[in-house]
Structure 1
Amino acid sequence: MTGNPHLAARIERAGLTQGELADRLNQRIGALTGQLGKLTDRHVRNWVTGKTRWPQTRQRLVLEEEFGVTAEELGFSPPAGRERAPSEDSVRRRTFTTATASLTAAALLSSAPSNGSRRVGMSDADRLERNFVELVHDDNETGASIRLETRALAHAQHALDLQAVGQAATRVRQRLYYLAAAFTGTALWAAVDSQQPQRALGHLHQAMKLAGMAGSSEMQMRLWGHAALLSYQEHQMHDALAAAEAGTREHICRQDPLFRSLASARLAGIQSALGEDTPARRSLAAAEKAYQRADLEDERAAWMAFFDRAELDGLSALVMGRLGRHADSEAHLHRTLARLRPEYRRNRTYYGLNLALAQLAQGEAEQAHATALQYLPAPGQKTSGRTGKLLQQFDQGLTRLAPGSRIAVEWADRYAEGDQTP
């Protein structure tokens, strides 16, 4: 587990172990002071896990030189009320920072013509896009995690590094900005799914900026959906509603009914959370109508692969549950689980636990208990984020509905064997 995915992503991007990074930083300290540094992998581990949130001045300086960005951009935060101390080595830092960024990115380029110039082409973007498809597949199969967040940030930095040092046509640059936005959006989703709002907000701002530079309505629509969920988690419901509405206004929703269906379903989810019964059902009907009009064989962005009939039923179930229509919610969830692709294990657990909650809300304690047991993690397996919260809700709900019963005791024992950290 890491509390600083920005630094972790930079380390992974550089292909370094924690011990190797410590050695490199010690060399830099030696060049700076005349005496070799004494950093170890333990220092690096403390930075990555977030145990050390603001390294000492000398350590920050060599970290900035190593990665070519400020300590804040590496994910460090000064203690409240403390400003960055001025450094007499600031000129050296700026000079070395520029050189480091250029050398790091240049090493990524596939070819170097004899005249010394370097070209970035569609083949470079194609390689990045293949990596993005792999990340999307990993997310669908195993779920969002800090590892996914770190990998996504590393790939986003790769796309920006290529822009920094290579010559590229406008079309290539636009695509690289799109990919940087796509990777950052995946990091955003991982932070949202793990319920890490502070990190998610930083990713959201960066991803929106990159999507704007790419001129991608499709990517902005994706990001508005994540922004709506983030605001919902933070109980900022008016912001959540505004973000969901913004998603439905993106050009891609007028162009492609499948995107319009997803945006409308997400809007219905926020409206239902606000208790707006009629608007929510109207948005859900619009989502259904748009889905029926969509050509499912059309080629679309990799991140949209998750949105199929099963997912629309799942989103509909969440809307029905929030509106208190638990029998309707249960029916949608049964259809979702029957249609869900086998590789979507994270979604199967998420919707399975929602099914148990829908049954619990109807007073069906025995059935709800049997359902929830199917999705309870193995003993010792960590569960966090949204899944952990659902398990906690079920635990509390079963205790209220059937206190002291056989199933409540059995559930409590099984639940205690796991490591739930919502």
Structure 2
Amino acid sequence: MGGTRNTCLEALLAEFGYTHEQLADEVNRVAERLLGAPANCTDRHVRRWIAGDVRLPWSRYLLPLQEIFGRGPEAMGFVPRKSSKPLPSPVGPASVKERSGVQRRAFIAGALATTLGIDQTPGHGRLGAGDIDRIQGTITRLDAHFNGLGGGALIDVTVDYLSRLEHALDHCTYSERVERGMHRAIAEVAACAGWSAHDCGQYEKAAHLRNHALQAALLSRDPVCVTRAWSDLAAQAEHAGRPAEAARINRAALSERHLRTRPLISSLLNARLADCLAQTGDLNGMGRHLAAAERTYDRANTTAAPSWLAFLTPAELSGLGAIAHQSAGQYRRAEAHAAQALELLEERFTRNRAYYGVLLAELQLAQGEHERAVATATGIRTVGVTSPRITARLERVIAAGRSEGGPP
């Protein structure tokens, strides 16, 4: 038997002009953007909410509804369960621009933690293979969120999750196989947290988390985890202005025997090594390794890629080529690669689209094309992107372009 009809929600649909099908589609779209995972909402869900059959939707539906309508559960006609934890305050359509970036990231972080069920990480008892599978599912969604929107809202979530996994490792019982799986999970979460910190400009924290990831990877005895950790430390060294050190780490990682059957990882390492060599003035080496990155990518099975490598697409290879040519001072070629990356980039990679858009504007600015640079930069869509590093670069390139005669 149905409950009391939810006339509040019904009125909101009429006010915003949604049909049942359209609202379901919008819930799915917003869930993918906010949470990095589909909600699988259908018009049947919407009909049940309006009929009163559901007193309070699950958080994977409720959080997008709050975002869409800008109202809390009660204002949408829902009745919170007595045991329910308070959900993050909604960011409504009229208030998005009024909230600071910090508030926005806090909202998304709260939504992510709730949806992923991080607070349900086991804290005692015996861990089994099923627990490892659930943890890996959470890691996959964390990686998808970073690849989609950036690390701004993710840093606190990943660090919290890291702490909970380590608590489980210290206080639960498990087999040797599960122990290795837990170390692998900790390495993966620490790596994701490291990139999130890097995306926020917190470079010391990123370095600490990446060292943590390497330690856990070594304990896991998983060669892919170890290679990933070394690759991230190479990226850290390169960003710190030590490209020769970064090149040595990447070369050592590329020499690992297990990479003969993992061309996708080899492709990434070759592309990153190419940039390091460009910074040291070895342009021939840069060219060789960019070519090697393309060759190895062509023989990779991308459908079986781990979640942390989902970003490595033909568009990303073009983008990495742009970065290497930029380091070599070859701005025209770099610009062509960046433009190609933007043309090939899939819609789901909102963060990377903003990143390469900023890179394109920087390259145009470096060539003295101030008006084009400003036009490129002001056309970049950053809605939903939570990367303070990208935002800061965008603001700098616009200011520099305008100071040199670009349009206001």
TM-score band, normalised by the shorter chain? 0.5 to 0.7
Which amino acid is 1:361 matched to?
A: A
Please give the residue correspondences for 1:21-100 in structure 2 after superposition, counting only pairs within 5 Å. Answer: none
- Taking only the aligned residue pairs, the percentage that are identical comes to 28
Q: CA RMSD in A?
A: 2.7
Task: Using CA pairs under 8 Å that are at least 6 residues apart, name the structure with larger relative contact order, 1 or 2.
Answer: 2
Describe the SS at the equivalent of 1:321: helix
Counterpart for residue 321 of structure 1: 326
The verdict on how the C-alpha distance between 1:142 and 1:251 changes in structure 2, with shifts beyond 3 A counting, is same
- Give structure 1 regions of 4+ aligned residues with deviation exceeding 4 angstroms: 104-107
Q: Do residues 213 (structure 1) and 228 (structure 2) align?
A: no
8 Å contact 1:193–1:385 — kept in the other structure? yes
Aligned match for 2:399, one of 392, 395, 404: 395
Which amino acid is 2:284 matched to?
A: T
The verdict on how the C-alpha distance between 1:391 and 1:280 changes in structure 2, with shifts beyond 3 A counting, is farther
Counterpart for residue 123 of structure 1: 130
Q: TM-score, normalised by structure 1?
A: 0.64
Q: Do residues 255 (structure 1) and 270 (structure 2) align?
A: no
Which amino acid is 1:141 matched to?
A: G
Describe the SS at the equivalent of 2:346: coil
8 Å contact 1:105–1:164 — kept in the other structure? no
Aligned match for 2:274, one of 268, 277, 280: 268
Q: Do residues 302 (structure 1) and 307 (structure 2) align?
A: yes
Distance 1:123 1:272 in 2: 46
Please give the residue correspondences for 1:269-418 in structure 2 after superposition, counting only pairs within 5 Å. Answer: 269-297=275-303, 299-375=304-380, 384-389=388-393, 391-393=395-397, 395-396=399-400, 399=403, 403=404, 405=405, 407-408=406-407, 410=408
The verdict on how the C-alpha distance between 1:107 and 1:394 changes in structure 2, with shifts beyond 3 A counting, is closer
Structure 1, 390-399 or 302-311: larger mean CA deviation = 390-399
**Superimposed CA distance per residue, residues 278-318 of structure 1 (whole angstroms, 9 cap, x where no aligned partner):** 11111111111111122223x23211111111111110111
Counterpart for residue 178 of structure 1: 184
Which amino acid is 1:143 matched to?
A: G
Distance 2:387 2:349 in 1: 17
The verdict on how the C-alpha distance between 1:192 and 1:202 changes in structure 2, with shifts beyond 3 A counting, is same
Counterpart for residue 239 of structure 2: 233
8 Å contact 1:353–1:391 — kept in the other structure? no
8 Å contact 1:188–1:203 — kept in the other structure? yes
Which amino acid is 1:132 matched to?
A: I
Q: TM-score, normalised by structure 2?
A: 0.66
Describe the SS at the equivalent of 2:310: helix
Distance 1:211 1:330 in 2: 37
Which amino acid is 2:189 matched to?
A: F
The verdict on how the C-alpha distance between 1:277 and 1:393 changes in structure 2, with shifts beyond 3 A counting, is farther
Note the C-alpha offset of 1:397.
5.5
Distance 2:402 2:288 in 1: 33
Q: Which runs of 5+ in 2 are unaligned?
A: 1-83, 87-118
8 Å contact 2:374–2:397 — kept in the other structure? no
Which amino acid is 1:276 matched to?
A: D
Distance 1:189 1:175 in 2: 21
Describe the SS at the equivalent of 1:306: coil
Counterpart for residue 143 of structure 1: 150
**Superimposed CA distance per residue, residues 339-390 of structure 1 (whole angstroms, 9 cap, x where no aligned partner):** 1111111100000111112222333322222111112757xx9862244135
8 Å contact 2:374–2:401 — kept in the other structure? no
8 Å contact 2:123–2:171 — kept in the other structure? no
